[in-house]
Amino acid sequence: MKVLLTHAPFNYPFTRLLLCRPHFPIILLLLLISQIEYASDVLPSPNDTDRFKFQKDDPILAQMDSLDVVNFFKRHTFTSDVNKLNIYNYPKDSVPVFSDEIYRQRLQKLDRMSPFSLDYNDDVRKYIELYAVKRRGTAARMLGLAELYFPLFEEVLSRHNMPLELKYLAIVESALNPTAKSKAGAMGLWQFMYGTGKMYGLQINSYIDERCDPVKSTETAARYLKYLYKYYNNDWQLALASYNAGPGNVNKAIRRAGGQKSYWELREFLPKETGGYVPAFIAVNYIMAYHKEHNIYPVKPRYFHYELDSIYIKRHVTFKQISEYLKIPVEELRILNPAYIKDAIPESENGYPLFLPKTLIGDFIANEKNIYQYLLAEERIQIPVVDTTQKSITPPLATNTKEIYHTVLKGEWLSTIARKYNVTVQQIKDWNHLSSEVVYVGQKIKIIQGTGTSEPITQAGIETQYYTVKSGDTLWSISQKYNTSVENLRKWNNLYDGKTIQVGMKIIVSKS
């Protein structure tokens, strides 16, 4: 899903071709004029301030990106038009059912083209009828989601020299739901348990669960399946069984079966779920190939694989910031970026990927700094109005207080709650006897309003004023105390390129 982006128009083959033509001077002049227009072409700010003007993407690059999509549509054959797909002229509500002999013949045809043993028996028939009769709507949605995920799966499997039919395993595991969670705690498209995910290098913490990252989890699944295939002497059915139940349970089943290593002979000794795992995999192979014969057609997905791209983010940013600035719903950001638990991308030296529609990648890059600094609507309401003509800023100490309780919502953490109530993270931790900054959805957090600050903030009347960073401080909270902007704090203290504040650091907070 990730495509290397370039923002130098002369790197594009189409432009290089134009430059080789005799009318090169005219083309060059037009390019220069468009660049001048682009530099001055800005839209009103999301929060009506000059500081956060929204800049359009480079129009030349945007046009070239659009050509990629147009060219793809010429090759892409996907359609959800039932009139075109219904080649057997079934009535709309028809549910075809076929004989055992027809099912067997169709699977034999698939088997000749597959490295898997696509056997047919009563158990396989039960799963075929599950997808083709009882779960027809689910099968239609999975056919649509295949347009989003299968190109990624096939790319990874091909790179590892693995059978492309393994892409169907994700349907058995998660029905192509990237946030699916099993009763046992397995997560993601490929349903990794916590221990297996950590063993293969997937990052799992309070903010990120890479088991839900389509790209990284698919890479991990390919590596794990390759290991299991070699472990069981190139037997794909045993490899699939051990992917579901774990090698330990498969090895126990082999011992209980007296050393037999055929999956069908081991089934009665395997966990109940694993006993249906291979039949379900065979049935998915069948229904994906013969869905038209069963009057099942794909539901068009919100996005196709080719419509998405990624960019790496090194600074903390929330989905709400991106949503308000780029006008994309938070729910869509969640769907495209399922690995981020708290609707936010944390700060990182190496960066984390943000997946967006290709049409928004250029806008994000053009406005990246402003998006990081963008203050959400609810936070702007909380900013106190301070008389900037005064030589000192002394917040009044509390004369009375009251306790309230805040229920933690999805996407919130202590720093956002602290900003909402104009208190510090450390105060919240003290009031609630918290040893860490981890909170949970639904947790009740005590807030004492009217507490003031532990020490007045004063200005000595000199040109530059300093402040010593305390535990729980953020650039936002400090900017609010001193009636300045985060950008000023970064500029005065050279807080760029990943640099941030630390407890005990003295920073400049005001300049006359």
Say what angle helices 277-289 and 122-129 make with each other, to 10 degrees. Answer: 50
Contact residues for 403 (Cβ-Cβ < 8 A; gap 6+)? 446, 447, 448, 449
List C-alpha distances in Å: 468 to 46, 69, 278: 33, 52, 62
Cα gap 68→57, rounded to integer Å: 16
- Residue 168 burial by CB count (10 A; 0-12/13-18/19+): exposed, middle or buried? buried
Spot the catalytic one: 147, 165, 173, 219: 173
CB 129 within 8 A of CB 100: no
Picking from 395, 444, 399, 392, the residue whose alpha carbon sits closest to that of residue 423 is 395
Cα gap 235→307, rounded to integer Å: 37
CB 210 within 8 A of CB 189: no
Q: Tell me the residue type at 167.
A: K
Say what angle helices 358-366 and 59-75 make with each other, to 10 degrees. Answer: 170
Residue with tokens 């290397």: 4
Q: Is 173 a known active-site residue? A: yes
**Residues of the chain by 3-state class (helix, strand, coil), percent to 5:** 50, 10, 40
- Terminal Cα distance for the chain, rounded: 49
Q: Tell me the residue type at 238.
A: L
Contact residues for 206 (Cβ-Cβ < 8 A; gap 6+)? 341, 342, 438
- Known catalytic residues are 173
